[in-house]
Amino acid sequence: MPSPYTIRWGILATGGIANTFCRDILCDPATRDVSDVAHEIVAVASSSSASRAEDFIKEVKCPGSPKAYGSYHELVNDPNVDVIYVATPHSHHFQNAMLALEAGKNVLCEKAFTVNAAQAKKLVETAKAKNLFLMEAVWTRYFPLSIKIREMVKSGEIGEVQRVVSDLSFGAVKDDGSYEFEDSHRMLNKDLGGGALLDLGIYALTWVYQILYHCQPEPREAPKVLASMSLYEKTGADEMTSMMLQFPKTKTVGIALTGLRVATQPDAVGSPASGPACRIFGTKGEIQVIGPLYRPTHYRVLKKGGQPGVVEDVKCPIPKDPKREGRDGDKEGWGHGMAWEADEVARCLRDGKKQSETLDWKESIMIMETMDEARRQGGLEYPQLIETDVFDPKSPLNGGKS
């Protein structure tokens, strides 16, 4: 068997999702039936210090001898790195991804891609000009469950799809109504691009887009957007955003909901008892996706005229790597579902592709435009430092060092 195409990752930031991502890409690809590509972590950077990067390398039990850097600048200039994973808060994505692209590095950037569409366009222009790969890390799109559902929609399994309703909301408030997060936390802090829309709303929109936009035949049309938003009185970040997307040519409608005060599934995350988090309505039936919509592992197909109570009920568990030690007492081993998007990056690099067909630049920009429009209607603006589309390698968001 030919050896897998192995890509060398540089990890930019050492927070929660960087940890999960690294553990996932260090799982044996065979556990998810992958043999054509593989991953290696060759460098990690923390804006705090090189010793924080060293600690992180130990935390994720990274094999080999990855470099530990105390600045993002050093990381992007490491000649051994093929691709940078940007895992900072939303506020930082544009400046950090530009830093990497300007240094000639391919980029996988966490969601939401940027703070606004103008920034996303600048990233794309730069990737194009420098002939580099660039992708927004919406991992959910690469789940086998998502691929299967898009195939069912395209093949007409539930007839013509007319409507999608999707919701990703956290009930993150205590009994006294105050938030479980500090106001300075990235979920609520406008300096870090906080609020429901950029953090969670992107997934509700992902489900609308991957069905009603992505499954359209070319040329695909952009939606008209009507939004309602309520802002948290203490920080001004959005705590509830509801969007209606109308695609006039196909006469379809998507409703994307997100919020921090009420939960999609108040009983338990992943519980079907609270009902599906996404409903895809077709003329011959319906597909229901059980949440959470960022990491779904369960869907149902209901057919028109079917026997009452008889549904196709499908579970898609995320493979674990039994050879890796359990995480935080998780005896099942590692594997959270993030490796599929990393496999896509590896295949694109191997095949010389600069963007992923599953979430291409045009669609990422369009989703940012939808969020811009929701923010315009809702009156949500972020500080100029994080809204600017002017790249500054010395920006405090890049660690302030040149």
Ligand X SMILES: O=C1OC[C@@H](O)[C@H](O)[C@H]1O
> Interface residues with ligand X (CB under 6 A)?
199, 294
Residue 15 binds which entry of ligand NDP, ligand X, none, with Cβ cut-offs from 5 to 8 Å by kind?
ligand NDP
Residue 317, judged by CB atoms within 10 A of its CB (0-12, 13-18, 19+), counts as exposed
Nearer to ligand X, 382 or 391 (CB): 382
Q: Which residues pair with 137 in a beta bridge?
A: 110
Q: How far is the CB of 80 from ligand X (least distance, A)?
A: 29
Q: How far is the CB of 186 from ligand X (least distance, A)?
A: 8
- CA atoms of 304 and 287, how far apart (whole Å): 11
Nearer to ligand X, 161 or 256 (CB): 256
DSSP class of 173: B
Residue 361 binds which entry of ligand NDP, ligand X, none, with Cβ cut-offs from 5 to 8 Å by kind?
none
Residue 90 binds which entry of ligand X, ligand NDP, none, with Cβ cut-offs from 5 to 8 Å by kind?
ligand NDP
Contact positions vs ligand NDP (CB under 6 A): 13-18, 46-48, 52, 87-90, 92, 110-111, 139, 186, 192, 199, 294
Based on C-alpha coordinates, what's the Rg of the chain? 21
Q: Would you tell me how many other CB atoms lie within 10 Å of the CB of residue 364? A: 27
The residue among 305, 320, 218, 213 whose CA lies nearest residue 256 is 213
Q: How far is the CB of 94 from ligand X (least distance, A)?
A: 17
Nearer to ligand X, 14 or 71 (CB): 14
Amino acid (1-letter code) at residue 384: Q
Structure tokens at 309: 């109570």
Minimal CB distance to ligand X: which residue? 294
Nearer to ligand NDP, 89 or 254 (CB): 89
Q: How far is the CB of 185 from ligand NDP (least distance, A)?
A: 8
Q: Would you tell me how many other CB atoms lie within 10 Å of the CB of residue 102? A: 14
Nearer to ligand NDP, 312 or 372 (CB): 372
Residue 16 binds which entry of ligand X, ligand NDP, none, with Cβ cut-offs from 5 to 8 Å by kind?
ligand NDP
Report the DSSP pairing between strands 161-169 and 278-282: antiparallel
- CA atoms of 373 and 7, how far apart (whole Å): 37
Minimal CB distance to ligand NDP: which residue? 15
Q: How far is the CB of 57 from ligand X (least distance, A)?
A: 23
- CA atoms of 12 and 138, how far apart (whole Å): 17
Nearer to ligand X, 6 or 184 (CB): 184
Cα 314 off chain centre by: 23
16-25 and 339-350 helices, crossing angle to 10° = 60
Q: How far is the CB of 169 from ligand X (least distance, A)?
A: 11
Q: How far is the CB of 171 from ligand NDP (least distance, A)?
A: 18
